[in-house]
Amino acid sequence: MKYDICVFGGCSLDQTFFQNVDGSYDKVPNSIAPGGKGSNQAVAASRAGARVTMISRLGKDEIGKRILDNLNINGVDTSHIEMVDGLNNDSCNIYVDINDKDNNMERITGAIDSFTPDMIENNRDVLLSSKIIVCQLKCPKEVTIALINFCYENNKTLILTPCRPDKLKISDEGNLELIDKITMITCNKKECITIFGTEDIEECVKKYPNKLIVTLGADGLIYYDGEKVIAMPAIKVDVVDTTGAGDTLNGNLTAFLVEGLDLQHALRKAMYASTMKLMKKTAQAGMPYKEDLDLFIRNMRNQDFHYSKELNYALEIVKDSYELVRYSQNIKIANKPDSTLLTESDLTIERYLISKIKDKYPRDHFVTEENYPGNSLKDRTWVIDPMDGTNHYIKKDGMWGIQLAFYDKKKTRFAVIYLPEKNELYYAGENIGAYLNNNRLFTPNIVPINQTVIEFGGSIYKSPKAKILCLKKLMDGNVLKVADVEYINTCCVSYTNLCTGKTDGLIISSKKPWDIMPGELLCKECGIRPRYIDVNRGVRLLTNNPEITKLILPK
């Protein structure tokens, strides 16, 4: 079996003591639960949605069984964990300060000390079949060295958390070479100072671009991307317990890297996960599940947005509406007066969205494709296209979506575009940015004109003369001046292609509010604004590439 992540590390039973108001601690722990850095990181990554396995050793007793059961419950594969008779399990006494919520730990090592280098060769196939390997420095150093060398020789991604930073001091012979072989190191400020022998954290990260990530507690984290130092501020919440916050960040970071996010997006999303953990007592109890993290990110990001309640509600009901038609088999198809197609699924989604919005906001207005197409825009109007790209829905090719915009006080305030079969949920709010699956979308990169892709969006037969003229401008005789020209008769797909950099320019002519309002707000929040090619017919060019603008717009 192939795994996303293999955690090579230890487990323990944590006994947590929370400080009393008078500064004392009870003699009996307030909580007893499985923990340990290896176990914590595995659980965090699994809850984030990754396929996780773990290589470890446990004493074959009731404590070991409890630790193993906890991993299984959390979806971690435990088939590569050895249960050894007569081996003491690791334990940890954690004392949480009542003021700063930080902790002091008394670790009693057991099984972790029994790790041997042959565990690597014995689990060779598991390591090679995993996309990312995660380890710490808690086991004997020769074992970690063997693992680092194995990953380096086999070109495997290795992320190390130096919880025993003294073992990696650069002043010790051979450690600089070891550091060079590690793909990524995530450490806190104290660990960084111990390893590199300096308090100049910025200078440390500059030596290891996209490799050394240093967490700074209430000051967030810092790393160097090869061009500039990236300082990510902490997410402000009331902290209850810091235990396991670093493990939560690491587990989620690894899961999001496997998912395909770039380092900056993966780190920021992992910081939200770590923040959620800070709000609950004990290490694993606060580690979020994927769906809870998505909701938390949206709520935190939008909390200062004037229409945050409406936006969060829209995101919820748009996703729910798809579930009503997800498993539809016999799709009833009809023709509308304009010869476009209509299915029962279009009507089902629209009815559901209108009903849910009326329940929550009974005085609001609607402009929708099927039931209220002739309504005018007023204050607090919901603009709904229940199924943009009905023909694609019928053909089941995934190139369709559900879209919604909210209009108030003469402006589009937020928009949602959901491409369910692509698992892509886009949203934008006025002056708060545009997002795809909770990851911020930035202005697309500008590429040379001969590398650009231009898309004609919406109905190709509307304003054909203007579009044919545009096509001629994109050609030099029979040769394209650009890399490619595409056409998709689904506005929401066209707009999202542009915002995500799949295309570089969009030529579109629809005037229908449900077709254009969601996508144009998304583009606006990505720094892309429409320019008119034909004002009378509403033919517009959207691009942030000045060469495309120069090529297409009338002189």
Distance, in Å, from the CA atom of 75 to the CA atom of 282, rounded to the nearest integer, reads: 19
Distance, in Å, from the CA atom of 212 to the CA atom of 435, rounded to the nearest integer, reads: 27
Coil/strand/helix, residue 17 = strand
Is the CB of residue 212 less than 8 Å from the CB of residue 220?
Answer: no
> What stretches of 292-351 adopt beta strand conformation (E)?
333-335, 341-343
Q: Which residues are catalytic?
A: 247
Distance, in Å, from the CA atom of 166 to the CA atom of 137, rounded to the nearest integer, reads: 9
Is the CB of residue 314 less than 8 Å from the CB of residue 404?
Answer: yes
Distance, in Å, from the CA atom of 468 to the CA atom of 342, rounded to the nearest integer, reads: 29
Angle subtended by helix axes 344-360 and 308-323, to nearest 10: 150
> CA–CA distance from 532 to each of 4, 366, 541 (Å)?
47, 27, 6
> CA–CA distance from 507 to each of 37, 471, 472, 481 (Å)?
52, 10, 13, 16
Give pairs for 458-464: CB < 8 Å, separation 24+.
458/489, 458/491, 458/494, 458/508, 458/509, 458/510, 458/515, 459/489, 459/509, 459/510, 460/487, 460/489, 462/509, 462/510, 462/537, 463/509, 463/534, 463/537, 463/538, 463/539
Coil/strand/helix, residue 454 = strand
> What length is written for the chain?
555
CA 418 to chain centre: 16
**Which phi and psi angles does 12 have, rounded to 5°?**
-150, 170
